[in-house]
Structure 1
Amino acid sequence: MKRWLGKAETALGNHSDRLNAINIFPVADGDTGTNLYLTVRAATRSLQESLPDEAAQNDVGAVLAKAGQAAMEQARGNSGTLFSVFLCAAAEPLTGQPRLTASLLATALNRAQIRAWSALSDPVPGTMLSVMEAASRAAAAVDAAQKGNDSNHALGLVLDAAVGAALEAVVHTEEQLDALQAAHVVDAGGVGMLLILDCLRSAVLGEELQSELLDGLHGYDVQDPHIHADLPDDDGVEVMCTVSLSPLDAATLRQRLDELGDSVIMSQVERSPDPEGRYRWRVHAHVLDAVPALELIRSLGEPTDVAVSELARPRDPAPVEADAGSRVEGR
């Protein structure tokens, strides 16, 4: 699992420029690659510290839960937030397991895609959500055919199927969203998720990444321009924070943020409440003005790790720099 996330960090760093270039949905702010990279980097760095005991170090779920929580706390943009939700949810059925099997992976992928879909107030097909779902369905189908086979060979077959289905789903994103079809590109978040899944396959099977995987994806050729730079600016800002809320207050916040803006994502950072019955939530929203949104959040709890960024930022096509101080918000 550590090798998987390390490979994903490297791959996303290498591909961040092209992911940024085709980032036009939900807003054309050109930073999906940067945001996924920074979110995955937070996950990998959390695993540089030892887990509390030897049992946890040999527990697949415990390792991923720690990585997922760190990713959630420092998630950037829609794509980073959804991946951190994916990671936290995938960890749950793997808790207490010393190794990954075909059945466990299929279960984890299913739990993860369901949680990711439910985290968004208004989930949209043709995004990384569709890629997660396709990978999960393919994994479940192959696992069912294996009839409980827990061999590494069966696991490899499930991984092959998941990545293959994820690629097909990425290709189909273009026809699922009008904005992508008009620009003749595939979804940036979907491509990022495909890369992450291929990194998992690579880490588990001990094989190289499939270099030809992205060949032919519309808009992804290195000769193509930064498509997002030619699109109209989006009004408003992106607001992100972590806040402790009761279940009722969380439902209230989601409803009122939906009224103020869109791209609302709320997911629990931890599964257990504090002594006062409140859960910690990671909150993400696109709104026209940050002030009313932050006032609303503060009326219900005290936010931490607050980040506000303009959606219509100056577009810089330069690749992301992997320095410790990098801080880029957006999709």
Structure 2
Amino acid sequence: MKRWLSKAETTLGNHSDRLNAINIFPVADGDTGTNLYLTARAAARAAAQAAHGTDAAGADPAPQTSQHSSPHSSRYAVAAPDPAQHDVGAVLAQAGQAAMEQARGNSGTLFAVFLCAAAEPLAGHTRISSPLLAAALNRAQLRAWSALSDPVPGTMLSVMEAAARAVAAVDSAHDGDDSNQTLGLALDAAVEAALAAVVHTEDQLAALHAAHVVDAGGVGMLLILDCLRSAVLGEELQSELLDGLHGYDVQDPHIHVGMPRDDGVELMCTISLSPLDAAMMRQRLDEMGDSVIMSQVGGAVDAAGNYRWRVHVHVLDAGPAVALIRSLGEPTDISVSELALPRDPDTEAAVTAAAVAPVLAAETRNPNGYAR
């Protein structure tokens, strides 16, 4: 897990500019690459802390053939299980929770949801197998689809689903074989299916079809899956993987710059709510805006029966949404950002500060409006 998320952090950082360049859905704000990178960075740092000291030297074990490998599967030699290691589910769960707490934007939040859900079937295991990978990816894609109030095909959700289906097919064809050979086949299939899904996004969303580009979040998810394949198999990333994707060549322009400006703001926060209040909040936020994502942060329940939730929504005005959220609980980690910042860097900071100021002011008052 540590190797995977470290690779993902580096790779998304290297690709963030091109991902930003083609980011026009759901809004043309050109920040998908940045959001995925920052979210992956949070996950990678948490995974490194969780996995610290997993072997005597404090480093990851070198890839080697385990007892599950066949003589003909040298390409699929992966790290052998080590009872002294933290289980992969626990490491990924810690990484996912950190990612959820620090998630950026729509794409970053969905990636964090993906990580948290994928960790659940892996709990208690010290190595990944094809059956476990199939269970993890299926759980992750289902949770990501359900986190959004209005999920849309042709996005990173479709890429997650395609990868999960491909791994499930390999697992089924090999009768649940847990060898490294089958795991390698499953990882290859996941990336191949994810690539096909990315190419298909251009025909699934009218905005992408008109701009002749593929979905930025989908490409980011493809890169993340190739990082997983690379980390597990001990192979290099596939340098030609993105060749030919529309809008992704270095010389291609930043498509989002020429798109119509989107009004409104992106609001994110963390809050403790009962399941009933969470359902009520989701319904009310759906009425106020769009791109509503609500997902639990961890599975712990407090003494009042509340769970912690990460909330994401796009609204025209942050004020009413913040008032709604505060009427149901005490939010923390509130962030508000313009959906389409001015293209002039000199005014960007001023606009962001203007959007955040009312929210910060609200945080210093109680529900009756009196300063604390």
Q: Please, what TM-score do these two structures have when normalized by structure 2?
A: 0.83
Residue by residue, what CA displacement relative to the aligned partner does 1:249-299 show, whole Å, maximum 9, x if unpaired?
000000000000000000000112111100000000000000000010000
Question: What is the letter of the counterpart of residue 309 of structure 2?
Answer: W
Residue 318 of structure 2: aligned partner: 290
- Aligned partner of 1:193 in structure 2 is 221
* Code of the aligned partner of 1:8: A
Please, which moves more after superposition, 47-56 or 146-155? Answer: 47-56
1:273 aligns with 2:276: no
Q: Quote the offset at 1:52 in angstroms.
A: 9.8
What is the aligned partner in structure 2 of residue 65 from structure 1?
93
Q: For residues 258 and 71 of structure 1, what CA distance do their matches in structure 2 show?
A: 24
Compare relative contact order (CA 8 Å, sep 6+) and give the higher one, 1 or 2. 1
Query: 1:152 and 2:180 equivalent?
Result: yes
Hey, what does 2:366 align to over in structure 1? none
8 Å CA contact 2:50–2:91 kept in 1: the answer is no
* Dislocated runs of 4+, deviation >4 Å: 50-57
1:108-167 deviations in Å (ceiling 9; x for gaps): 000000000000000000000000000000000011011121111100000000000000
Q: Which amino acid aligns with 1:183?
A: A
Aligned equivalents of 1:166 and 1:50: distance in 2?
A: 29
Report the RMSD for the aligned CA atoms in angstroms: 1.6
Task: Answer yes or no: is 1:217 the counterpart of 2:245.
Answer: yes
Separation of aligned partners in 2, 1:64 and 1:57: 13
Task: Specify the SS of the correspondent of 1:49.
Answer: helix
1:48 shift after superposition: 3.1
The code of the aligned residue for 2:200 comes to: H
Q: Distance in 2 between matches of 1:210 and 1:98?
A: 26
How far apart are 1:53 and its partner, in Å?
Answer: 9.7
State the distance in 2 between where 1:12 and 1:114 align.
Answer: 23
1:281-320 → structure 2 map (5 Å cutoff): 281-315=309-343
Contact 2:114–2:140 under 8 Å retained in 1: yes
- Identity rate of aligned residues, in percent? 80
Give the aligned partner of residue 278 of structure 2. Answer: 250
Tell me the CA shift for residue 314 of structure 1.
Answer: 2.5
- Deviation per CA, 1:64-103, whole angstroms, max 9, x where unpaired? 0000000000000000000000000000000000100000
- Within the alignment, does 1:86 sit opposite 2:114 as a pair? yes
Distance 2:187 2:343 in 1: 36
CA contact (8 A) 2:202 2:215 kept: yes
Distance 1:19 1:315, change over 3 A: farther
Q: Give the unaligned 5+ runs of structure 1.
A: 318-328
User: More displaced, 49-58 or 95-104?
Assistant: 49-58
In structure 1, distance between residues paired with 2:169 and 2:343: 42
Q: Secondary structure at 1:272's aligned position in 2?
A: strand
Q: Determine the C-alpha separation between the residues in 2 that align with 1:108 and 1:305.
A: 29
Report the TM-score when normalising by structure 1: 0.94
For residue 134 of structure 1, what is the aligned residue in structure 2? 162
Instruction: Look up the SS of the partner of 2:23 in the other structure.
Output: coil
- Cα shift at 1:47: 2.5
Tell me the number of residue pairs that the alignment of Structure 1 and Structure 2 aligns.
318
**2:148 pairs with 1:101:** no
Question: 1: distance between equivalents of 2:296 and 2:96?
Answer: 11
Deviation at residue 312 of structure 1 after TM alignment:
1.5
Which residue does 1:6 correspond to in 2? 6
Identify the residue that residue 30 of structure 1 maps to in structure 2: 30
Question: Is the 8 Å Cα contact of residues 61 and 93 (structure 1) preserved in structure 2?
Answer: yes
2:64 corresponds to: none
Aligned-partner SS, 1:199: helix
Report if aligned partners of 1:68, 1:85 keep a CA contact under 8 Å in 2.
yes
C-alpha contact 1:128 1:190 (8 A) present in aligned 2: yes
Q: Please, which of 87, 92, 114 is the counterpart of residue 142 of structure 2?
A: 114
Report if aligned partners of 1:29, 1:315 keep a CA contact under 8 Å in 2.
no
Q: Could you say which residue in structure 1 is the equivalent of 2:207?
A: 179
Secondary structure of residue in 2 paired with 1:307: strand
Post-superposition CA distance 1:206-248 (Å, at most 9, x none):
0000011000000000010000000010000000000000001
Amino acid at match of 1:150: D
1:19 aligns with 2:47: no
Paired AA for residue 16 in structure 2: S
Q: Identify unmatched segments of 5+ residues in structure 2.
A: 55-82, 346-355, 357-372
Give 3-state SS (helix, strand or coil) of 2:298's partner: coil
